[in-house]
Structure 1
Amino acid sequence: MIDEDTTALPVHGVPADAVLDEVRALRGRDRPTHGGRLFAYVYDPAVPGLDALTAAAHAESAHVNGLDPTAFPSLLAMENALVGAAARLLGGGPDTGAPDVVGSVTSGGTESLILAVKTARDAHPEIAAPRIVVPASAHAAFAKAGHYLRVAVDTVPVSATTLRPDPADVAAAIGPDTVLVACSAPSYAHGVVDPVEAIARVAAAAGVRCHVDACFGGWALPWLRRLGEPIPPFDFAVPGVTSISVDLHKYAYAPKGVSVLLHRDPALRAPQYFAYADWPGYTMVNPVIASTRSGGPIAAAYATLRHLGEDGYLRLAGATRDAVTGLADAVRETPGLRLMAEPESTVVCFTATDGGPDLFVLVDELAARGWHTQPQLAYADLPPSVHLTVTASVAPRVGEFAPDLAAAVAAAGAAGPVPLPGDLLALAGSLTPEALTPELVGGLAAGLGLGGVGGAPVPDRMAPVNTLLNAAPPAVRERLLVEFVALLQRPSW
């Protein structure tokens, strides 16, 4: 018999107020999206009234369909305005060296990067097996694009010291089938800006497009530069840069999900479009992956930019810069920790020194004190690290972070590393992805106390899971997480 208290489709409809109460109760189990204590996933400017404004703007256009801009010119006008704002901010537009920049609004950074790869691939139909060249620090969405589009991905290593690729290595990786070279401004993991000028130069010399992935911090870097920070050249002012992606739902502080993909000129953008008329229905013309698109996120982004304005973004960038400085100082002053790189954007990333705390235990200790950080596993010759995405809302909380960090380090040191059985760690290092059946992963999850399976909550302490994942090679990590998420995503009957 169906339990009408939990099913999404009850026999009898539930009153609106009760439904909203249910949604609020479910949201009560989430990480806090406001308050300056969550260092990943969400971007909070702490601007009073902004949530209400964007919710109202979203509601005004939620049912507008972006499939046909001639039917809904309001959406076309807002999209063009967002593209124009992003282009001007990133070195394009009238009175610049890139006056013909055009672009499209997408659902997020991943879609923007997939489209950048798709556009470069389709610009070269004569290449049967296209390839792209990316740094090892490039966002995983490039690998996703390669997988979806059947484009090979050639990865260039990054220095363990600078966390950047060597342009000479990029040049060496470019071959006759390369259709795109990519770099980051900044990289997500460590927040450093790749040597865009040099990479764009070698790409141009080879006759290859160069995409700058500025999804993560591209909206913040120009404002930081205006505040006097030494931001290296990365935008359309750099010759050889042919496209740039920037997410508005990150440091433009718009609700999710809105990104902008820009091209230096219309000819470069042309292969991005998909059109199809060989069927009896309407002729499909899409600039992006989706056909039907809600106008809600676009209207919310438009409202955000209009409301905050240049002065608002300068103020928010200043608050973020001050927060980054304070958090980095806290790391420097805490024995057992060191910065992975000196902050140059909106990221603080740190690791442990020799004899320092187990980072995965430290992350749990910080969470117990109300600070939600993002652990990053070891990769090649890079050690595990802790990533902090810093937003303007963090600035008032910086003074609270330093003593909590010191206390968390002390607690992690006293607790010591996670004592996983040696045979389990050895198994993680020796398994092949093919051996990871759903049953085996389910057993591992249960043995680690991982909730979510069978309706149990996810545990507060994730150090055992991260320790196990850290012991496994990347291909095994991927398979473990795929099977585990598949266990979580089961229908509620």
Structure 2
Amino acid sequence: MTNVLARLRALQEGDLPTHGGSTLAYVYDSGLAEADEIGRAALAQYGATNGLDPTVFPSLRTLENDLVGWAARLLNGETAVGTVTSGGTESVLLAVQAARDAANSPTPNMVIPSTAHAAFHKAAHYFKVPAVVVDVDPVTFTPDPADIAAAIDDNTVLVVASAPSYAHGVVDPVREIAAIAADRGVRCHVDACIGGWILPYVRLDGIEVPDFDFAVPGVTSISVDLHKYAYTPKGASILLHRDASLRKAQFFASAAWPGYTMLNSTMQSTKSGAPLAAAWAVIHHIGDQGYQRLARTAHDATLDLAKRIDAIDGLTLVATPATTLVAVRTDARSDVFTLADEMTTQGWFVQPQLSFRDQPPSLHLTVSAATALRLDELVDALTAATRSAQQLGPAHVSPDLAAAATTLDPTTLDDAAFDGLLTIAGLADTAATGTLPTRMAPINALLDVAPPPLREALLTAFLDHLMRPA
């Protein structure tokens, strides 16, 4: 056993750190060691349980109802019901599926801002509910409610708003969007996967926050992730519906076979009770007062970070953060891809975001409570990395390669052609050996000049090669 665990620890040495606040995407760190320990203990205690049948493990039913009730209280859902899911994407998928099935339209669609999370496009693909995409204002990065209204038609089953959007960290005009949806008899889902556990607690601390939850008439469902700012182990989100009648279409039952009657509230049938138990344990350990402190710490640090970033020569804040997400751009002396690489050399992971339509690329930083404790270090690293990136200059893509990338039709390419493109992009060795490049800027710069369909196809080919047995 010791040898096996030692091998796992050796493999983990190549991973980004999950604690310490230096990974500013993908993970969320409260900085509370005891909360982490309690979460791990609960994971182990419930690792063998199965949430498929709530009558077999009644403790899981108790834990889930308790967590749903906690979230409903935070989000002003007096009559709300909900389901614990495996993450924000599953919560979004279920919200779309429930809206589609409840409407029973032969040609359903949903209306989403262009800044809505990619999970809605995944839902569109899975459930054949095309997304009617509404552009956002180039300054505020929020949609005009009038454009939302114009996009709704007789086949629309769902309208979406973000609180906040991931890419820019701003909250959509939920009150206006929900009113439009209600007037047209359409469901309105608020994606508060990131903000749903932050906004209520900073509001309790006296900070004015945008209207976004069930206090807003017309909001019919909300997704909120526990493994983000509730700081629970991965694999826990909640999808809330305003009332039980709205949730019914989410459930799936089948007695059309000789085995047990399948009855599911989520995409999964068999599902471990471990993430649920860990979430319950961490949330009850930290408690309302603890979350209020953590939320205020992360919120204040984010505003401070945004102000200090704006003072760094060569960096520009994309939007004033509404919660704990910061988006940054560089001037022409460097690019965000080189800046991200330079931050990595200093021990900080920040996430490059490729250009989209008329929006240039940006750098995404997610601030957690643990990051707040190291804010001076982070700003010093950003300042030094910016200077280094300016000295190196932007990553270069040859004009011929850039021109080719903009004209290639990925649907006409075979596997051999994709293998050649992976080699050109610098991803072939990684796909073959699993050894990541030391610098990602040249790869990201090439992906940035490629149209989104080619980006998707290239990265899909890369993933296909990467995820094969050695």
Residue 258 of structure 2 corresponds to which residue in structure 1?
280
Native 8 Å contact 2:431 2:463 kept in 1: no
2:197 is paired with a residue whose SS is coil
1:264 to 242, 258, 263: 242
What's the CA shift for 1:169? 0.3
- Residue 485, structure 1, aligned to residue 470, structure 2: no
Deviations 1:51-93 (A, max 9, x none): 2211111111111111111111000000000100010001112
Show the 5 A alignment for 1:48-197.
Answer: 48-93=33-78, 100-125=79-104, 127-197=105-175
Aligned identity (percent) is 53
Residue 9 of structure 1 corresponds to which residue in structure 2?
none
Show the 5 A alignment for 1:239-254.
Answer: 239-254=217-232
Native 8 Å contact 1:337 1:356 kept in 2: no
Native 8 Å contact 2:194 2:228 kept in 1: yes
Deviations 1:67-120 (A, max 9, x none): 111111000000000100010001112xxxxxx210011111111111000100
Deviations 1:200-250 (A, max 9, x none): 000001000100010122111111212232211100000000010101010
- Residue 464, structure 1, aligned to residue 442, structure 2: yes
Native 8 Å contact 2:109 2:157 kept in 1: yes
2:348 is paired with a residue whose SS is coil
Q: How far apart, CA to CA, are the structure 2 residues paired with 1:324 and 1:336?
A: 19
Show the 5 A alignment for 1:55-454.
Answer: 55-93=40-78, 100-125=79-104, 127-353=105-331, 355-450=332-427, 451-454=429-432
RMSD of aligned Cα (Å): 1.2
2:110 is paired with a residue whose SS is strand
Deviations 1:425-459 (A, max 9, x none): 11111111124433333333334443422214101
In structure 2, relative to structure 1, the CA distance for the partners of 1:410 and 1:104 (3 Å cut) is same
- Residue 18, structure 1, aligned to residue 7, structure 2: no
Q: How far apart, CA to CA, are the structure 2 residues paired with 1:414 and 1:453?
A: 31
Native 8 Å contact 1:44 1:392 kept in 2: yes
Q: How far apart, CA to CA, are the structure 2 residues paired with 1:421 and 1:147?
A: 34
Letter in 2 for 1:487: H
Q: TM-score when scaled to structure 1? A: 0.93
Deviations 1:272-294 (A, max 9, x none): 11111121111111111111111
Residue ranges of structure 1 left out of the alignment (5+ in a row): 1-15, 94-99
- Residue 45, structure 1, aligned to residue 30, structure 2: yes
Deviations 1:365-390 (A, max 9, x none): 11111110000011111111000011
Aligned residues: 469
What's the CA shift for 1:403? 2.2
Letter in 2 for 1:82: L
Letter in 2 for 1:385: S
Q: Which moved more, 1:202-211 or 1:395-404?
A: 395-404
Q: How far apart, CA to CA, are the structure 2 residues paired with 1:251 and 1:225?
A: 15
Native 8 Å contact 2:351 2:363 kept in 1: yes
Residue 96 of structure 1 corresponds to which residue in structure 2?
none
Q: How far apart, CA to CA, are the structure 2 residues paired with 1:258 and 1:194?
A: 24
Deviations 1:167-225 (A, max 9, x none): 00000000000000010001011110000000000000100010001012211111121
Letter in 2 for 1:302: W
Q: How far apart, CA to CA, are the structure 2 residues paired with 1:39 and 1:228?
A: 26
Q: How far apart, CA to CA, are the structure 2 residues paired with 1:448 and 1:131?
A: 36
Native 8 Å contact 1:212 1:243 kept in 2: yes
What's the CA shift for 1:484? 0.8
Deviations 1:128-183 (A, max 9, x none): 01000000000000010010001111001011100000000000000000000010
Q: How far apart, CA to CA, are the structure 2 residues paired with 1:378 and 1:229?
A: 33
Letter in 1 for 2:57: F
What's the CA shift for 1:397? 1.1
1:399 is paired with a residue whose SS is helix
Q: How far apart, CA to CA, are the structure 2 residues paired with 1:428 and 1:290?
A: 39
Native 8 Å contact 1:335 1:356 kept in 2: no
Residue ranges of structure 2 left out of the alignment (5+ in a row): none
Letter in 2 for 1:178: T
2:228 is paired with a residue whose SS is coil
Native 8 Å contact 1:330 1:401 kept in 2: no
1:345 is paired with a residue whose SS is coil
Q: Which moved more, 1:385-394 or 1:274-283?
A: 274-283
Native 8 Å contact 1:436 1:479 kept in 2: no
1:244 is paired with a residue whose SS is strand
Q: How far apart, CA to CA, are the structure 1 residues paired with 2:451 and 2:341?
A: 23
Q: TM-score when scaled to structure 2? A: 0.98
Native 8 Å contact 1:78 1:299 kept in 2: yes
1:53 is paired with a residue whose SS is helix
What's the CA shift for 1:336? 1.3
Native 8 Å contact 1:436 1:480 kept in 2: no
Letter in 2 for 1:36: G
Letter in 2 for 1:145: A
Q: How far apart, CA to CA, are the structure 2 residues paired with 1:48 and 1:294?
A: 24
Deviations 1:15-55 (A, max 9, x none): x1111011111111011111111110001111022222111
